[in-house]
Structure 1
Amino acid sequence: MPASLCGIFGLKPTFGRLSRSGSHPFVASLDHIGPLARSVGDLAAVYDALQGRDPGDGFQADKASERTSNLLPRGLEGLRCAVLGGYFSRWWR
């Protein structure tokens, strides 16, 4: 179920960005670790904390960690939002 339909935020990182250690392996090339949180700020903080090289995960990308929480806007000025139609429109009525 999409996080947005549960009133929370979710993140599906690029494959290989986060270690999959500790998750139940179904299909190695499709498994993802994706945090859920109450706010985008919390989501960015969790994502920052989960980053880091894990030698036990052979599918993890060899890329340095990058902080995302400092990229968050400080206000809502200039924020653009999209309203989805079709299937998702019935959830907003």
Structure 2
Amino acid sequence: MILVGPSLGAAVAIDFAVNHPEAVESLVLIDASVYAEGTGNLAKLPRSVAYAGVALLKSVPLRLYVNFLAFNGISFNTSLDWTNVSVSLQNWCS
């Protein structure tokens, strides 16, 4: 497959490509929000804080809200569909 990872989805795409190289023909990263040289001081955070941050970023209410902000004027149903697609991809990659 050709795997596309926009924004924070780039981290998910990279993780999937590393763990399943046989499934990925090409990897396309768009405005990737990942750390090219490690996480620096963030690596010193307690693991529970890191997991809490990831859980917040993956939360449906936050993703739904971001869709409303980023794509002003879209319907609630469209925003919910887009949110569910990203949640389904995350679950599939886990």
**Fold conserved (TM > 0.5)?**
no
Larger strand share, 1 or 2: 2
TM-score (norm 2): 0.26
**Between structures 1 and 2, the one with greater helix share:** 2
- Work out which structure has the larger RCO, using CA pairs closer than 8 Å and 6 or more positions apart in sequence: 1
